[in-house]
Amino acid sequence: MNKPPSVPEQFDAVVVGAGFAGLYMLYRLRELGLSVRALESAGDVGGTWYWNRYPGARCDIPTTDYAYTFDPDLEKEWTWSEKYATQPEILDYLRLVADRHGLRSDIEFSATVTSARWDEPEERWAITTSSGNEIRCRYYIMATGCLSMPKSSEIEGAGRFRGQVYFTSRWPHEGADLTGQRVAVIGTGSSGIQSIPLIARQASQLTVFQRTANFSIPAHNGAPSADRLEQLSEDRDGYRHAARWSRGGIPTDLTDIFGVTASEEVRRERFEAAWAQGELFGILNIFADQGVNPASNDIVAGMIREKIRSIVQDPVTAEALCPNDHYFGTKRPCLDTGYFETFNLPHVRLVDLRAQPIVSITEDGIETADESFGFDAIVYATGFDAMTGALVAADITGRDDAPLGEKWAAGPSTYLGLMTTGFPNLFMLTAPGSPSVLSNMAVSIEQHVDWVAGCLRDMREAGFETIEPTALGESGWDQHVQDCAAITLYPTANSWYMGANVPGKPRVFLPYIGGVDAYRKACDDVVEQGYLGFRLTGPGQAQCHDGVVRRMQPDVALVLELLATLGLPPMDSLSAADARSLMAATAVNRPPGPEVGEVTDGVIPGAAGDLPYRLYRPAGLPEGPRPLVVYFHGGGWVLGNLDSDDPLCRDLCARSGAVVVSVNYRHAPEDRFPAAALDAFAAVQWVAAHATELGGIPGQLAVAGWSAGANIAAVACQLARDAGGPQISGQLLICPVVDSDLTRPSYEENGDGYILTTALMRWFWDHYADPADRGDPLAAPLRGNLAGLPPACIVTADFDPLRDEGVAYARALEAAGVPVRLTRARGHIHTSLTMVDLVISGAPVRAEIGDTLRAFFPNAVPQEPVS
């Protein structure tokens, strides 16, 4: 196979790696009729399953699902012997696949890629290998795995030890006989937890050095799950389809039970069932909110700790084995066979490195802050430079001689976890920004390989030869990946998902947590939209449909999906009474919002009769008067009441430290324009006049509102200015209605599908004001005199029909000399910010609003914002 370096071999494609991903990629490229060379540094196929030969190494996804599905005959012929297969069995499986499809003839083994350089004029990759060969190819595909680059040992003195040294990730092929030896294992991730019980069987003494206690549940290994086998035999295609469109790559009925609201009995029942089942996606699916809500997560974590305490006899050891520094699931949980039980053996000891850190490895063993240990062998189960390690180490240089490592110095950036700008025709399978390690890898690998193969086929058919993401497409995807992570608890942990296990590695959440199903849909949408966010070129032609494939906040998208399944009638098709009932019904099970110190209801005189109000006093603040915020609810002047915006008012109160007075006003069509606006002004006047008795600071008064409530708040500010009082410190207008012109572009772009529709807005106006009145500044404050108004905070949402008029009001206020803070709720809809604790991604925007409210009152006692 070797050729003199002066005559580079030419291929259409080079694939690096012959593990699960590389083998299937090779298969698909050959199927396309491309010439392909696969380069594999190991002596055989298998990837992860070639290297990780430590005792106890097994998959942690059930074998019924941890397999290729592209070859139906193989599926029928191959039978896994266990629920979780051992490394040798999985390696046998991959060898069989390679042989069955004659893949070995295109694989060069023991060939490590030393560099790859994009040759711009030739539009080809120039690849060199450890044997000095140069290979040239059009398409360069990294199938190098997510956990393939072992973390180098950063422990002081690691090279000094004179006994045997083993790495779980590079276990000797001939095995290691530890019989009668004094063995140390450093690391209690999956590799440590799987190997420790088996090493304990051989060692005369086993000392486990634990830096972080890890969550693990019993695998209950044995025969493959009868239930899954039955489902497969009944409808294999249906089962595989369900896996491809599932959250994690295994068919799972996602629960809608919330941990925080479930009864103790339901909690226990669900936990015990998951514990008995022994599957990762089961224990991660006890409650719908366990990945996002600390209180729900604590319920699961607490139950696992109970189990650990019930297994481990020595209470001190049990306590040290109980994880308590991260939320359950935020570091990869483990499946074990007798792990915790191992610590009941007399010759096994746990050393808690939090209590006595390792000072150094010595010639004879390990020295901690408290003790010196002598060992015959040290086993490092210290993990990997995950997800980016193997890619960066492969010395890839793209356009303008820019190395990938430099581009990713502050964290990886990819489009769809498949490609990255500046590196044309470089495909990365299961790279950062794709579900990969958070999913069943077998399903994710097949999806990535199929996407790449489909892309190359499409390019060939259209006559394109290069493909590269655009900067916009890629930055949009990076943002989406981080948005998805930000609403979960995952970024809080020092995990390898965050790069936190490797000293100096940037702290960025690496995989895509939005789900295999959502991810597959995004990849498909990109193709359907003409390779959105990619630039393609070929002889005499180029194509670029630039754009961002997912701009909406992921939890907002989930809310919209859920609403769509309810099949509710459009509000604008209902009577006002029915619309009010519908609004009340949809609010029934929503989260209540944060606790505040005190909530009292009362009545104030309005412009034409009493107006109910609800007052929220902040908790935990020093006694004494606080600034006041008069708040008006949304609902198009037709809907809404004190209850409808209760969670938002609690949130505003908690974040701002102000007393919030939410006031009802007369609604249309019973009381049409200008009743609501006049009530609002009357309410502001009354609250200002009664500031002291409401617990407020006289002269420190802001007005606020959402939607139509923001409309009347803005009008009240204009009326107060004209009337010479009361003095208003600031106006907070959240997604305000400020004009009756429904032709701005946002009414077109966001006119349908985002809860508030253009049709509904029209319905609201029809109920509220005659066409002749709609230009009156009391209805459309944008058309009024804006000079001398109080400082404003205007919040607009990207997917709101009202977005553009909010921006227009901000600009107009600024032009009139009014200080304005325009806050953009990126990726949000009109109702997002009111959905407290439901649309979690709204929290940072509400935090910003809280800051602005506090800034309206510079003389008030400064208060800590709620987190």
Q: Which residues bind to ligand NA7, rule: CB under 6 A?
A: 147, 154-155, 168, 186-192, 211-212, 332, 353, 381-384, 496, 501
When the beta carbons of 209 and 856 are compared against ligand NA7, the nearer one is 209
Look up residue 854 and give its two tokens: 């506090």
Distances (CA, A) of 24 to 17, 114, 514, 651: 11, 23, 25, 51
Classified as helix, coil or strand, 428 is strand
When the beta carbons of 381 and 840 are compared against ligand NA7, the nearer one is 381
When the beta carbons of 333 and 790 are compared against ligand NA7, the nearer one is 333
CB of 133 to ligand NA7, least distance (A): 32
Q: Go through the chain and tell me how many residues it has.
A: 867
CB of 168 to ligand NA7, least distance (A): 6
CB of 169 to ligand NA7, least distance (A): 6
Task: Return the closest-CA partner of residue 126 out of 401, 390, 457.
Answer: 401
How many other β-carbons are positioned within 10 Å of the β-carbon of residue 88? 11
CB of 501 to ligand NA7, least distance (A): 4
In degrees and rounded to multiples of 5, residue 346 shows phi and psi of -65, -25
When the beta carbons of 381 and 713 are compared against ligand NA7, the nearer one is 381
When the beta carbons of 380 and 681 are compared against ligand NA7, the nearer one is 380
CB of 110 to ligand NA7, least distance (A): 24
330: CB partners within 8 A, 6+ apart: 488, 489, 490, 492, 493, 495, 497
CB of 180 to ligand NA7, least distance (A): 26
Q: What is the C-alpha separation between 752 and 702, in angstroms, rounded? A: 33
Look at the block and give the residue holding tokens 């339901």: 266
When the beta carbons of 381 and 835 are compared against ligand NA7, the nearer one is 381
When the beta carbons of 297 and 436 are compared against ligand NA7, the nearer one is 436
Residue nearest to ligand NA7 (CB): 189
In degrees and rounded to multiples of 5, residue 690 shows phi and psi of -115, 25
CB of 838 to ligand NA7, least distance (A): 31
CB of 212 to ligand NA7, least distance (A): 3
CB of 418 to ligand NA7, least distance (A): 21
When the beta carbons of 435 and 636 are compared against ligand NA7, the nearer one is 435
When the beta carbons of 445 and 654 are compared against ligand NA7, the nearer one is 445
Distances (CA, A) of 766 to 641, 665, 737: 20, 18, 14
When the beta carbons of 121 and 503 are compared against ligand NA7, the nearer one is 503
Characterize the bridge pairing of strands 820-829 and 792-799: parallel
Look up residue 157 and give its two tokens: 């003195």
Q: What is the C-alpha separation between 718 and 716, in angstroms, rounded? A: 5
Characterize the bridge pairing of strands 609-617 and 365-368: unpaired
Q: What is the C-alpha separation between 593 and 367, in angstroms, rounded? A: 51
CB of 414 to ligand NA7, least distance (A): 20
List for the chain the helix, strand, coil content (%; round to 5): 35, 20, 45
Q: What is the C-alpha separation between 296 and 275, in angstroms, rounded? A: 17
Distances (CA, A) of 210 to 193, 218, 352: 11, 19, 5
Task: Return the closest-CA partner of residue 146 out of 500, 389, 506.
Answer: 389
